[in-house]
Amino acid sequence: MTSIKTASMPASPTRRALLTAATGLAATSWIPRAARAQAVSGTVTLAGWSKPISEITNLLVEPDKGFFKAQGVNLVYLPGAGGGDAIRNLLSGQADVAFTDPGSFFMALDKGEKLRAIYDIYPQNVFNVVSLKSANITKPADLKGKRIGVYSLSSGTRQNLLVMLHQAGLSESDVEIVVTGVLNFAPLLQGQVDATAATDTGLLVGRKRGLGEVNVMPVSDYLNVSSDLFVVREAALAQKQPLLRAFLKAYRDSAAWMIAQPEEAATLAGKRAIDGTDRAINLDVIQLRNAASQSPSGRPLGAFDLQSLQKAADAYRALGLIQHPIDVAAVVDTGLLPGA
């Protein structure tokens, strides 16, 4: 496990955003000392879907920026290999919060797990399926009989690939799924797979490193739903509510900081991210994640679009990916969101 941390502010901060932040800072100055002494203090272990990579720089810079420390939270990051991995680490008790995709969340709920989503990390779908032009794969139906790479069998790349396959009336048995690891387009270039499921950041890095001409099928064309959520066990909501609230405040601050200061974030990624050796690529990756963090409809960072999530849950059931109906409003808790 790796200790880390984060902070706040948007990309081209508006006057309103700056005034809001200033008001928030000023408000803390008159809080009675006794009240401040009762502030939250504790450790939150976050089960991630990935290793410490540049797209989560806002988490990795905790030693530099101290966003979580400022809220009384000691952040510990537990790396993983996919959203399903994050859920498993949550359910096993190794973590307090899972950084996971909606598909993994829905599948755990479908098995009867008592979970709640408490923050919408990326309100936009960032997944896609990529193939070389020479393969002539231009629509989901063309994937039949093909070898397709995924980050891991418990990753959002696999879940979103299944969504795309179902759009063409295909199932997992109609293709051969090959685990290629994160940000790894080498198997595609070497002909080991015909296509690969990836994120927008994975595709960006692949292109920067010589991927060449490719066909890209965005999953958002078929199901545009959030890419990642913070999920907790239902029991934790009552047991750790103040600590979880402080965690979400710190995370939102860190996300807002990365939006406002992408250049600084790109530099710090060089120190903190395992893939952060190229500052220009860091910046491009961070800009993509900043865009994905913001709602197209202008909702505050972390706010849910319940209608969209319900549509996704219904789609997963209609496609046979889950067996039971999910009432999204009953498994999302918005009460811990900053400002709620």
Query: For the segment 205-252, what is each residue's pLDDT rounded down to a tens digit?
Result: 889 888 989 999 999 998 888 999 999 999 999 899 999 999 999 999
Q: Which tokens in the block code for residue 281?
A: 């690529």
Helix (H) or strand (E) holding 181: none
Please tell me the predicted confidence (pLDDT) of residue 7.
35
What confidence score (pLDDT) does residue 315 get?
Answer: 87
Residue-wise pLDDT for 2-32, tens only, equals 445 433 333 333 333 333 333 343 333 333 3
Confidence bin at 273 (pLDDT 50/70/90): very high
What average pLDDT does this structure show over 188-200?
93
21 contacts 9 by C-beta, under 8 angstroms = yes
Please state at what angle helix 102-110 crosses helix 306-318, rounded to 10 degrees: 60
333: helix, strand or coil: coil
Residues 82-126: pLDDT tens digits? 999 999 999 999 999 999 999 999 999 999 999 999 999 999 999
Is 3 in contact with 63 (CB distance < 8 Å)?
yes
pLDDT of residue 4: 56
* Alpha carbon 238 to chain centroid, angstroms: 24
Decide if pLDDT at 169 tops 50: yes
pLDDT value of position 40: 85
**CA geometry: angle 121, 127, 132, nearest 5 deg:** 155
CA distance 45 to 73: 10
How confident is the model over 283-325, as pLDDT tens digits? 999 999 999 999 988 899 999 999 999 999 998 998 888 999 9
Phi, psi of 99 (to 5 degrees): -100, 95
pLDDT score, position 183: 64
Rounded Cα–Cα distance for residues 87 and 1 (Å)? 16
3-state secondary structure of 6: coil
For residue 319, what pLDDT is reported?
Answer: 81
Q: Is the pLDDT higher at 84 or at 183?
A: 84
Give yes or no for residue 333 having a pLDDT over 70: yes
Q: What pLDDT band is residue 261 in, cutting at 50, 70 and 90? A: very high
Residue 203 predicted with pLDDT over 80: yes
Predicted pLDDT of residue 208: 87
* Mean pLDDT in residue range 149-166: 90
pLDDT score for 282: 97
- Report CA-CA distances (Å) from 215 to 218, 239, 281, 282, 310: 10, 48, 21, 24, 30
**Looking at residues 178-195, what average pLDDT do you find?**
88
How far, in Å, CA of 195 to CA of 29, rounded? 55
In percent, how much of the chain has pLDDT > 90? 73
